[in-house]
Each structure stands twice: as C-alpha cells, then as structure tokens.
Chains A and B, each alone.
Chain A
Amino acid sequence: MAAAETDPRPRGADAAGPVAGLLAAPLALLMRLVDWPMRALQRAVGERRMAYVFLLPNLGFFSLFVFLPLVINFVFSVTGGAGLFPSERPFVGAQQYAYLFDCASFLDPSSCREDHFWRGVYNTARFTVFQVTAMVLFSLLTAVVLNMKIRARGFFRAVYFFPVLLSPVVVALTWKWILQRDGLLNAAITSLGGERILFLVDPSWAMFWVVFVSIWAHMGCYTLILLAGLQAIPADLYEAAEMDATPRWRVFWRITLPLLWPNMVVVIVLALIRGVQTFDEVFVLTGGGPGTATLMIVHYIYETAFANQVQNFGLAAAASVVLGIVLFALTLAQLAASRRKGAA
C-alpha cells in the first residue's frame, strides 16, 4: 500500500514492460499538469456540475457543425434574393414558406405554386412507405435465415452485407447499366423472345426500380442489426418453447418478435430517416424522372439551391426546414412508439 502511494510510475507500467512505461510517462505528466486546474475548476463549479464541463468540448463541436448550420439555414429561409451572404439578402419573413404552401389543393401538386416541391413530397412519402416496409420485411426474413444453422452461413452473411460497402453512385451506375434500353436485363428479355422494356422511362417501373435498388443496397446493414438482436435472445427461451411443443410461428410471434422489437425500432427509424433523405442513388439512376416521377424532396432542394441560374437558397432553405420538422416528428413518433412497447 505504502509502495503504491510512493511509486511515481503509472499503474501497470511494471506489467507491460519498459516500452509501455515509456509511453505512459508522458501521459502521467499530462495528467499531473491538468490535475491542478481541474481541481480548481471542481472547487469553483462544484462536483455535480463537472459533468457539464466535460460535455462542453463535444457540445461546442456539435454547436459549430450542427446547431450553427441549422440556425444559418433558418436565417436563409426567411430571406430572399440571390445573394450568398445573409447580409446581402433582404428579410422576407415567412414568404418562402408561404410560397411552398401556396396550393389550391394539397392533393393535387399541379395546383401548387411550387408544384415540384409537392411532387417531391408525395414521391418521397410513397418511396418511404414502400421502401421501409419492404426493407424491414426482407431484412427480418434474411436475418432469421442467416441466424439458422445453414451451410456457408458466413459466406451468405458477407454476400448480403457487401452492397452496403459500395458507394451509392457505383450502385446506381451499375443498376443503370443493367436497366437501360440496351442493358443487361433487356438483353436477357429479348434473348428469350420478349419485348424490350424501358424500365427507366416508364414512371411506374422507374419508381419500382428506385425502391428495389435502394433495398438491395442497404438491406445488409439492417439485416446485421436484426441479426445481432436475434443472437442476443437467450437460447433457453427457445428450449423451453420446444419442450412445450410450441408451434414455430408462435415462437416467432411470442418470443422472437417481442425481444427483437428494440432492434426493429432502430431499423425502422434508421430506414425511415434514410428514406426521407434519399437522393444520391435516385439522382444518378433516374435523375428524378421520367418527368418528375421519382423526384424526391432532397433532389428538389438541391435543384432549387444549386442547379438553377438563380440559386434560390431561401426557398431551398425553407424546404429544408420543413423536411427537418418532418424528420424530427417521425423520430419522436417512433421513439414514443418504442417506449410504449417497452412499458407494455
């Protein structure tokens, strides 16, 4: 005990040898240097408030790169003109929001002043509903199968995860090559005597492929989350069910699904947020077309802010604020749902 009190070397230096001791020495010196100011700080603010002191650097970082851009975005949304700096932009109040919501009927985008915004909203909603539903179902199914003792399980796990590693642009270009007029799929169809299908020119086909490609590209990540959840379910529950001769569907419904629910919530929230934010793959695969059949809300924001000759940052910022509010509301709803389920 006395040796520990008097030994100036950091703990563990003996065990790890001279190299670790050498590395630990500067750390110990650093700790001694900050020791006095930290003690002084603790005396000044009190022990309980020290937690906030430790949170401060991260909060500063977060404020600089998340909160500040949010504030700047909001400031842009209440200004007009084509200037870049807020000082060059006249204050227009809620005019940009009024433009966005100027509709004779919200069910008919063509009756809206910013019809592309509303087409983007409806397309994004449709895309998200189909994509998230299908994504969760397929991910769950895949995770359940990959959790079974099947042959080459490791290989299949890698195969399903592999598309997640690809860049969205690579994914979209690969599928574009497959789906275009003279693409791989049409070559297969015509070689079997079928008629060529213009998958990316027909609006309903285009939306189908956008959803399909998105699921193909991202399913691996969600499957992995669900697989981790499945593996965390205690095996004795299944053994007990087996001893009771419980049917498999009942085991799934009464044991697997409830215990997997926290992971399911994570998957649903992540897929939902990603679905609403979707842009890169769709932009490269269909360019928002045909017409505006796959124009998503983020694509509208990008076009409004950057692709037009007059870069309408104000309108784009207002649309971003609306999108942000929708995402926030969705996240809160999902969290509330998961809490209710947890409490039940």
Chain B
Amino acid sequence: MQRKHWISAAALAAGLAWSGFAQAQTTVRIAWYSDGNEGEVVSDLLKRFEAQNKDIKVVLDQVPYKAITENLPVQLASGQGPDIARVVDLGGVARYALDLRPYLKDASYWEKNFGPFLPWMRPEGDSSAITGFMTQLTVSGPFVNKTLFEQSGIAMPGAKATWEEWGKAVKDVAAKAQAPFPLAMDRSGHRFFSVAISEGAKVFDEKGEPAVIDEGFKRGAKLVYDWHNNGVMKKELWGSVSGTAYRGANDEFKNAQVVMYQSGSWQIAQFDKTVGDAFDWIAVPAPCGSVGVCSGMPGGAGLVAIKTTKSPEAVAKVMDYLASEPVLSEFYARSLFVPGHLGIAAKGLDYQGASGPAKAALKVFSDQVAQLSPVAYKLQGYVNNRIIFNATISRLGQAISGEGTLDEAFKRIESDIAQQIAERKK
C-alpha cells in the first residue's frame, strides 16, 4: 500500500512537471513558401534550433506562394498573422513588421551584414528598424539554351550585347532549331523593369516620387511590344492572361522549347535538378539597353518578424539563429541561393552538391549584384513598388494582346499607379 502511494505521488509529480514544462514552451509560427528545396532545408535547421532551445517550439507552415501574396496581407491587417513570415512584397508587409532591435543579441551584426537590404523591409518613414533579413537575394537575368545555339551554328552574343542583338540572335536560332519560343520572359514587373531600366527608365522624379512613364520606359515597353509582333516573343505569357497574373516559362525552358529565358537566379536549383544532361544551359549577364545600361532587377524573399506576435523575445531568438553566419551559409548553400548576407557574399559560398552549370550560373548572378543600376535598387526598396509592377504588367499585357495601343497603356499605367497610391494614403 505504502509503495502504491509512492508510485502515485511520483506519477503525479512527473505529470505536473511535464504540464508545467509544456505550459512554459513558447510557440513561434512561421509562414513559409518555397520555390525549390528551401522549405526542407529550413525545416532541418529549425529542428536543430528546437533541440538547442527546449523552451521554444517552431511551427513551420509551408504555404503556396499565392497565400503569401494574397492571403497574408489580409491576415496581418486583421491581426491574425503568424509570428514570422517569408515574404516577397517587402514594402507592402513592412507596416506590419516588428522592429527587432530591442530583442536581438547583437543588432550591429545585422546592420553590418544585411545593411543594404534592411530599408526594403522598413515601414515608410522609418530609417533604423531591423525587421528581418533576406533569405534569398534574387537577381533577374537570362538563361540561355547553349545547345540550341550550337546546333544552329549561330554565335552567341557577347557579354555587353544589347537586348536587340539578343532578340535577333535568338529568333534566328529558334528558326533553325525549330524551337517555338525564341525569347520568353516571365510575366512579371521585375523582369520587365530589367529591360526598361537598361533602356534608361528612371522610374522616379527628383523628389523621389514615382514618375514611371519616361522615354526609357517607353523604349523598353516598345521593345517588348515589338518582340510580340515580330515573333521574338510568343503571346502565351504576356498576352494570354489578364490583370496581375504571373506566368513563367520554366517548364518550356526545361523542355528545350525556349532559346533564351528572362527569369532569375531562383530558377537555378530546379534547372540543376530537372534539366540534367538533356541540354547545356547557362546564365548570361544582363543584356544592355540602347543607352548603355546593363542591369537586372534585385529582389528576393525576406524573413520578416510580425509585430502582432505575443512572443517577441522568442521570435528574435529564432531570427538570430537563422540569421547567424554558419546557419545562413548552410541555408544558402543547400538551397543554391545568392546570399543576401554581405559577410557570406564576401567570403564566397561553396555550393556543395551543385552541378558545374549551376555553380557557373550562381557565379554569373552573384557577380551581377554589384552591377545593378541604382535605379533598380531604388525601385526594389520603394514601398509601393508592387503597385508599379502590377499596373505595368496588366496594361502592357492588354496592349500586347491587341486591346488598345501602347500610348493608351502608358496613360492607364500612370492613372492606375496614381489611383492606388492615393487609395493607400486615405
């Protein structure tokens, strides 16, 4: 009987201790979307974090990209969002972001290594907050099917070739190789503005206010418009859908149907995995515009802390861990991402497991980071940049599909941007 009492007492004590421990554990919820294998990689890293920090449980909600761009803003506005989110509309989400400085172990580490990218994630008018870091720095730029060039016997344009030269070359290659898509460009504002900025688009006036339609923008738009009319580009991407819908040609490129694909560095991992030995592919530096500018667009996904969190200390702990140099190096290396951490970028990354073409492509895009136009950086950091991107793709897409002229599209782009910015300021 005595022994039974002891066992019961021990069981009760263990139960109480366990429930006390369970209550003490803080849950941090992360909303995460993936382009490639980065969800698996971060999941591995977070397991290690949990093993080292028994008081914090991290729940990784892996969601589709559309949930991040369309559902998350509504969740955040209603105060029901996650504690941390991986986002691409950095400016749009910035007003819901938590300033981590009071909770970080060493804020100077963040400023030193993420300095140029921190303003992208700050609320309008804030010049000092630290809200997150770039899980991936992307650079838009073209991939080329080298095998199609070789088979057609046409020389590939050089490093400083213009967009027009590339357009002519890929059209000739496609004609000889019978590839249906000479040039494909994602239906995306970032991709279009790579061309427009290279053609001299300034995007902003002297006061820093958006002044999107200028001669450079018009040259870029006309180039893309003409490509659709003379067969360099097909209407399947830009002319086949309406509004702000994104369309990519990664499947067509993997199937060797595209000679040149204007996309970006995030495609490397999947091309490395899926193209294999089917054909030779390379990334080439951003082609130049007629004014001598040769720029892609920077971009990427940031991991941002959300201010409605009930556990800012735990959130900061998770962020400190994920942003630490060894962890982030492993993350970038395993995901085949261009690093958004200056220290890691300076030391260089060993992309173990990547094939030769993938390593070469990563080098091309990493080298491009320093070559990007200041206008491109400014546009990426502009809080309302998605308004500009969406208005452009929607109206340019209409002109390409035959609904109205380019001049009408320019007027609509200007009025759409003005209306939406005015609505946001109400």
Q: Decide if A308 touches B420 in the complex (CB within 8 Å).
A: yes
Asked if B78 is an interface residue, CB under 8 A from chain A, the answer is yes
Residues in B neighbouring A286, C-beta threshold 8 A? 240-241
Question: B236 and A181: CB pair below 8 A?
Answer: yes
Q: Does A251 contact B (CB under 8 A)?
A: no
Chain A contacts for B423, CB-based, 8 A? 80-82, 310, 312, 314
The stretch among B23-31, B317-325, B398-406 that forms the contact with chain A is B398-406
Asked whether, in the complex, the Cβ of B424 is within 8 Å of the Cβ of A310, the reply is: yes
Chain A: CB-nearest residue to B400: A291
Chain B nearest CB, measured from A49 CB (Å): 41
Contact A198 B74 (CB under 8 A): no
A314 to B423, CA, bound (A): 10
State whether the Cβ of B70 lies closer than 8 Å to any Cβ in chain A: yes
Q: Which of A110, A291, A308 contacts B401 (CB 8 A)?
A: A291
> Closest approach, in angstroms, between the C-beta of A159 and any C-beta of chain B?
32
A203 within 8 A of B: yes
Which of B180, B384, B398 has the largest count of A CB atoms less than 10 A from its CB?
B398
Contact at B397–A291, with CB atoms within 8 Å?
yes
Chain B residues positioned under 8 Å from A64 (CB to CB): none
- Using a CB-CB cutoff of 8 Å, which residues 146-188 of chain B contact chain A? 180
Query: Shortest beta-carbon distance, A118 to chain B, in Å?
Result: 13
Any B CB within 8 A of the CB of A256: no
Contacts of B384 in A (CB 8 A): 309-310
How far apart sit A84 and B403, CA to CA, in the bound complex (Å)? 34
Given A307-B70, A309-B387, the answer on whether A295 and B243 have CB atoms closer than 8 Å is yes
Chain B residues whose CB sits within 8 angstroms of the CB of A92 once the complex forms: 426
Whole-angstrom distance between the alpha carbons of A304 and B420 in the complex? 10
Q: How far is the CA of A314 from the CA of B424 in the complex (A)?
A: 12
Residues of B within 8 A of A287 (CB): 240-243, 245, 247
Q: B397 to A310, Cβ gap below 8 A? A: no
Whether, in the assembled complex, A292 has its beta carbon less than 8 Å from a beta carbon of chain B, the answer is yes
A311 touches B73 (CB 8 A): yes
Evaluate contact between A291 and B408: CB separation under 8 angstroms: no
Given contacts A292-B403, A295-B243, A84 and B74 within 8 Å (CB-CB) = yes
B243 near A307 (CB under 8 angstroms)?
A: yes
Q: Report whether B420 and A288 are in contact in the complex, using a CB–CB cutoff of 8 Å.
A: no
In this assembly, does A200 line the interface, its C-beta being within 8 Å of a C-beta of chain B?
yes
Q: Tell me, rounded to whole Å, the shortest Cβ–Cβ distance linking B315 to chain A.
A: 23
Complex contacts, A295 vs chain B, CB 8 Å: 242-243
Q: When the two chains form their complex, are residues A288 and B426 in contact, meaning their CB atoms are under 8 A apart?
A: no
Smallest distance from the beta carbon of A54 to chain B beta carbons, Å?
36
Measured in the bound complex, the distance between the Cα atoms of B73 and A83 in whole Å is 11
Closest A residue, CB atoms, query B385: A309
Contact assessment for A82 and B426 in the assembled complex, using a CB-CB cutoff below 8 Å: yes
Contact indicator B401/A290 (Cβ below 8 Å): yes
Q: Determine how close the nearest CB of chain A comes to the CB of B27; give it in whole angstroms.
A: 25
In the bound complex, CA of A81 to CA of B423 (Å): 5
Residues of A within 8 A of B408 (CB): 110
Is A289 an interface residue when CB atoms closer than 8 A count as contact? yes
Is the CB of B92 closer than 8 A to any CB of chain A? yes
- Interchain nearest-CB distance for A286 vs B (Å): 7
Considering only residues 88-110 of chain B, those with a C-beta below 8 Å from chain A are: 89, 92
With A84-B78, A181-B180 known as contacts, the answer to whether A289 contacts B242 (CB < 8 A) is yes
B239 CB-CB contact with A under 8 Å: yes
* A82-B424, A310-B420 given; A288·B404 CB < 8 A: no
Chain A nearest Cβ from B123, distance in angstroms: 14
Question: Is there contact, CB below 8 Å, between A291 and B403?
Answer: yes
CB distance from A161 to the nearest CB of B (A): 32
What count of chain A residues pass the 8 Å CB interface test?
36
Q: Which residues of B contact A110 (CB under 8 A)?
A: 404, 408
Partner of A293, one of B69, B89, B401: B401
In the assembly, what is the distance between CA of A156 and CA of B74, in Å?
Answer: 46
Residues on A with C-beta less than 8 A from B412 are 115
Q: Give the contacting residue for A290; candidates B69, B73, B239, B244; CB below 8 A.
A: B239
Tell me whether A289 and B387 are in contact (CB under 8 A): no
Is A309 a contact partner of B240 (Cβ separation < 8 A)?
A: no
- Whole-angstrom distance between the alpha carbons of A200 and B236 in the complex? 8
CB pair B89–A80 under 8 Å, yes or no, is no
**How far apart sit A92 and B422, CA to CA, in the bound complex (Å)?**
13
B235 on interface, CB distance cutoff 8 Å = yes
Q: Which residues of B contact A311 (CB under 8 A)?
A: 73-74
Residues of chain B with a CB closer than 8 A to A201's CB: 234-236, 239-240
B243 near A312: Cβ-Cβ < 8 Å: no
Please, what's the 1-or-0 string for A274-296, where 1 marks a CB less than 8 Å from any CB in chain B? 00000000000011111111110
**Complex interface bits, A99-111 against B, C-beta within 8 A gives 1, otherwise 0:** 0000000000010
Instruction: Check A288/B245 contact, CB under 8 A, given A81-B423, A309-B387, A310-B424.
Output: yes
Neighbouring A residues of B401 by C-beta, 8 Å:
203, 289-291, 293
Q: Is A218's beta carbon under 8 Å from chain B?
A: no
Is A90 interfacial (CB 8 A cutoff)? yes
Residues of A contacting B74 with CB < 8 Å?
A: 84, 306, 311
Which residues of chain B come closer than 8 Å to A306, judged between CB atoms? 70, 74
User: Is B262 interfacial (CB 8 A cutoff)?
Assistant: no
Instruction: Considering the complex, give the chain A residue whose CB is closest to the CB of B89.
Output: A309
B386 at the interface (CB under 8 A from A): yes
Q: Complex formed: what's the CA distance from A299 to B242 in Å? A: 10
Residues facing A in B382-426 (CB within 8 A) are 384, 386-387, 390, 397-398, 400-404, 408, 412, 420-421, 423-424, 426
Question: Are B240 and A289 in contact (CB-based, < 8 A)?
Answer: yes
Beta-carbon contacts of A115-154 to B below 8 Å, as 1s and 0s? 1100000000000000000000000000000000000000
| A92–B426 CA distance with the chains assembled, in angstroms | 10
Tell me, rounded to whole Å, the shortest Cβ–Cβ distance linking B33 to chain A.
16
A288 & B241 in contact (Cβ 8 Å cutoff):
yes
A303 at the binding interface (Cβ < 8 Å): yes
Chain A nearest CB, measured from B411 CB (Å):
10
Of the listed residues A306, A308, A311, the one surrounded by the most CB atoms of chain B closer than 10 A to its CB is: A308
Most chain-A Cβ atoms within 10 A of its Cβ — which of B92, B240, B244?
B240
Task: A307 to B235: give the CA distance in the assembly, Å.
Answer: 22
Q: Is B7 an interface residue (CB 8 A)?
A: no
In the assembled complex, the Cα of A295 lies from the Cα of B92 at a distance in Å of 26
Residue of B at shortest CB range from A114? B419
* Complex A-B: 10 CB contacts under 8 Å: A81-B423, A82-B423, A287-B247, A292-B243, A292-B403, A294-B242, A307-B243, A307-B244, A309-B386, A310-B423
Chain B residues packing against A (C-beta within 8 Å): 69-70, 73-74, 77-78, 89, 92, 180, 234-236, 239-245, 247, 384, 386-387, 390, 397-398, 400-404, 408, 412, 420-421, 423-424, 426
| Chain A positions near chain B (C-beta within 8 angstroms) | 80-85, 90, 92, 110, 115-116, 181, 198, 200-201, 203, 286-295, 299, 303, 306-312, 314
3 cross-chain pairs, A with B, having the tightest CB-CB distances, nearest first = A287-B241, A291-B401, A288-B242
